[in-house]
C-alpha cells in the first residue's frame, strides 16, 4: 500500500476561497478575494480587442504544432517592448532575452528553478507582506526565504526608510523579489526616486533581482506603470522580470506570461537564454500558443492596439471610481475606521486593515469573501453590491 500517510493539503489562501464562494448559497454573496476584474454587472467579460483578435486568429487557421521552447519570436519582442519600452531593442548597451511562459506564475517558477541551479545557496527575500504564492514557489524549488520590511500599517504607506534599511542587510548573492507596480497585496507602490534609490542599494550590495510585474496597465497606464521596472533594468546589470497578460488583457485562463532577463552582455544573455530553455523544457516543455497569438495580433495592429488601450483604461477607471465610492459610502455611514487611504492605493487591491477576525465575520455572516490578510479586490465591487459591502463592513468593524 502506498500514500496512506498523505495528509490533506491546506486550501489555497486565494483560490481556495473561490471554491468556498462557489458553494455559498447566499444570493448576496460577493467574491472580493481573487484578483480577477469584474465589470459593473459583476461579470468577467472578454476584452473587445481580444474578441476581435480571436476572430482573426480563427481565420488564420494556424497549425497547432509545438512552439519553440522560448515561444514565438514576434510575441517575445513585442513583450520586451511593452515591458522595457520601445527604445530598448535599439539600445546596443542592453541585451534583453525573453521566454513565453504559462502565465506570470510560470515565469516566477522558471526563474526560481533556474536560480536554484545556479545560486542554490541564496536566500530569497520578499516584501512583508507579499502575494501568498511567492514563498511556496521558491521554497518548492529548494530555497530558503525571508522577508524585508515594506509596509507601514499605521500610515498605510510604503515604510521606505525601513525598507531601505532592511534591504541593506541582505547579504551579497541573495535574491530579492520586488513588485513592479500595483503591489500585491498592499496597493502601495514606490515613486521613481525610491526606485532609483533601491536600485543603487541592490547594485552596491550585489543582490540578484527578480521583479514580479503582473499588473502593468492596471495602475496609471502601460508606460507609467513600467517606470520602476525600467529604472531597475537600466541601473542593474542583471534583472529578471516576470510579466503577465492575465489582468491587462483579461487572458487569465489562457496562461500567458513572459520571463524577461536583461544584461549588458550579449553573450551572457544568450547563454542564460539557453539555460532557461533547458530548464523550461523540464517543467512545461514549451508554452501554450492561443493566448500569446492573441496578444501578438493586438500589439501588431494599430487599430486593435488602440482598442485594447481603451479596454484597459475602462477597467482602470472603473476600479478608481469604486475606490472613491467605497470611501464615500463608508464615510457617509459614519464608519469609525478611517479608510481614506483606499483612494491612494494602486491597481486592483486594497490592503484594507480589516482584521482576520472581521474578515471571517464578513465571510460567515455576510458571504463577502476577502483574503484573510484583509486584501480586498476593489475590481469586484460594483454599483449594485457597493451598498451591501459598505454596510456589512461598517457593521463588523
Ligand atoms: C491574486 O493575487 O488574486 C491573483 O494573482 C490570482 C492568483 O493566482 O492568486
Chain centroid to CA 230: how far? 16
CA-nearest residue for atom 4, ligand 1, is: 35
* Cα 269 to ligand 1 centroid, rounded to whole Å: 30
Q: Specify whether the CB–CB gap between 351 and 185 falls below 8 A.
A: yes
| CA distances (Å), origin 152, targets 53, 124, 157, 211, 352 | 43, 22, 5, 21, 13
CA-nearest residue for atom 2, ligand 1, is: 35
Give the number of the atom of ligand 1 that is nearest the alpha carbon of residue 131.
2
Q: What is the pLDDT of residues 177-236, one digit of tens each?
A: 999 999 999 999 999 999 999 999 999 999 999 999 999 999 999 999 999 999 999 999
Report the 10 Å Cβ neighbour count for 24.
14
Give the length of the chain: 397
Taking the C-alpha atoms of residue 239 and residue 260, their distance in angstroms, rounded to an integer, is: 8
Taking the C-alpha atoms of residue 84 and residue 77, their distance in angstroms, rounded to an integer, is: 10
Q: Closest Cα partner for 347 from 202, 228, 247? A: 247
What is the model's pLDDT at position 93? Answer: 76
The residue from 125, 131, 195, 308 that is catalytic is 131
The finding on whether 35 has its CB within 6 A of some atom of ligand 1 is yes
194-198, long-range: CB < 8 A, 24+ apart: 194/158, 194/160, 195/227, 195/228, 195/231, 195/232, 196/231, 196/235, 197/164, 198/163, 198/164, 198/167, 198/232
pTM of the model: 0.96
Q: Specify whether the CB–CB gap between 228 and 189 falls below 8 A.
A: yes
**Cell numbers for 212:** 514580479
What is the model's pLDDT at position 1? Answer: 86
The residue from 174, 212, 225, 311 that is catalytic is 212
The residue from 78, 247, 262, 296 that is catalytic is 247
Taking the C-alpha atoms of residue 66 and residue 282, their distance in angstroms, rounded to an integer, is: 15
Q: Specify whether the CB–CB gap between 18 and 34 falls below 8 A.
A: yes
What is the model's pLDDT at position 88? Answer: 74
3-state secondary structure of 211: strand
To the query of whether residue 125 is one of the catalytic residues in this protein, the response is no
Summary count for the chain: helices (H), strands (E): 14, 13
Q: Closest Cα partner for 163 from 206, 116, 130, 115? A: 130
> What is the per-residue DSSP string for 227-261?
HHHHHHHHH-S-EEEEEESTTTS--GGG--EEEEE
> What is the per-residue DSSP string for 266-286?
HHHHHHHHHHHHHHHHHHTSS
Give the number of the atom of ligand 1 that is nearest the alpha carbon of residue 105.
8
Q: Closest Cα partner for 32 from 395, 333, 313, 373? A: 373
Pocket test for ligand 1, best of 13, 31, 35, 378 (most atoms within 8 A of CB): 35
* Cα 168 to ligand 1 centroid, rounded to whole Å: 29
Chain centroid to CA 120: how far? 25
Q: Specify whether the CB–CB gap between 192 and 231 falls below 8 A.
A: yes
User: Which parts of the chain register pLDDT below 70?
Assistant: 91-92
The finding on whether 348 has its CB within 6 A of some atom of ligand 1 is no
The finding on whether 184 has its CB within 6 A of some atom of ligand 1 is yes
Amino acid at each position: 500500500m502506498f500514500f496512506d500517510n498523505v495528509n490533506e493539503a491546506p486550501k489555497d489562501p486565494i483560490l481556495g476561497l473561490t471554491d468556498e464562494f462557489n458553494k455559498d448559497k447566499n444570493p448576496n454573496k460577493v467574491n472580493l478575494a481573487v484578483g480577477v476584474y469584474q465589470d459593473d454587472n459583476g461579470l468577467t467579460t472578454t476584452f473587445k480587442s481580444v474578441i476581435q483578435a480571436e476572430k482573426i486568429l480563427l481565420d488564420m487557421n494556424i497549425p497547432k504544432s509545438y512552439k519553440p521552447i522560448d515561444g514565438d519570436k514576434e510575441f517575445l519582442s513585442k513583450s520586451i517592448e511593452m515591458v522595457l519600452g520601445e527604445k530598448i531593442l535599439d539600445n546596443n548597451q542592453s541585451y534583453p532575452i525573453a521566454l513565453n511562459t504559462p502565465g506570470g506564475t510560470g515565469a516566477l517558477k522558471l526563474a526560481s528553478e533556474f536560480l536554484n541551479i545556479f545560486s542554490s545557496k541564496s536566500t530569497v527575500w520578499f516584501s512583508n507582506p507579499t502575494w501568498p504564492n511567492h514563498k511556496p514557489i521558491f521554497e518548492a524549488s529548494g530555497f530558503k526565504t525571508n522577508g524585508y520590511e515594506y509596509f507601514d500599517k499605521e500610515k498605510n504607506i510604503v515604510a521606505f526608510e525601513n525598507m531601505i534599511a532592511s534591504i541593506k542587510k541582505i547579504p551579497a548573492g541573495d535574491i530579492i523579489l520586488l513588485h513592479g507596480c500595483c503591489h500585491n497585496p498592499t496597493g502601495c507602490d514606490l515613486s521613481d526616486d525610491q526606485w532609483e534609490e533601491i536600485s543603487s542599494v541592490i547594485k552596491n550590495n550585489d543582490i540578484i533581482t527578480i521583479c514580479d510585474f503582473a499588473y502593468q496597465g492596471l495602475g496609471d497606464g502601460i508606460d507609467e506603470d513600467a517606470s520602476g521596472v525600467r529604472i531597475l533594468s537600466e541601473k542593474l546589470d542583471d534583472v529578471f522580470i516576470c510579466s503577465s497578460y492575465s489582468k491587462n488583457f483579461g487572458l487569465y485562463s489562457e496562461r500567458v506570461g513572459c520571463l524577461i532577463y536583461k544584461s549588458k552582455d550579449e553573450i551572457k544573455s544568450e547563454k542564460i537564454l539557453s539555460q532557461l530553455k533547458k530548464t523550461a523544457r523540464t517543467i512545461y516543455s514549451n508554452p501554450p500558443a492561443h493566448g500569446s497569438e492573441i496578444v501578438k495580433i493586438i500589439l501588431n495592429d494599430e487599430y486593435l492596439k488602440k482598442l485594447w488601450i481603451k479596454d484597459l483604461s475602462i477597467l482602470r477607471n472603473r476600479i478608481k471610481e469604486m475606490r472613491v465610492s467605497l470611501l464615500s459610502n463608508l464615510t457617509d455611514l459614519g464608519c469609525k475606521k478611517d479608510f481614506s487611504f483606499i483612494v491612494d492605493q494602486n491597481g486592483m487591491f486594497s490592503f484594507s486593515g480589516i482584521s482576520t477576525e472581521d474578515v471571517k465575520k464578513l465571510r460567515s455572516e455576510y458571504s463577502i469573501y476577502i483574503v484573510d490578510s484583509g486584501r480586498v479586490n476593489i475590481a469586484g465591487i460594483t454599483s449594485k453590491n457597493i451598498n451591501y459591502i459598505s454596510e456589512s463592513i461598517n457593521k463588523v468593524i
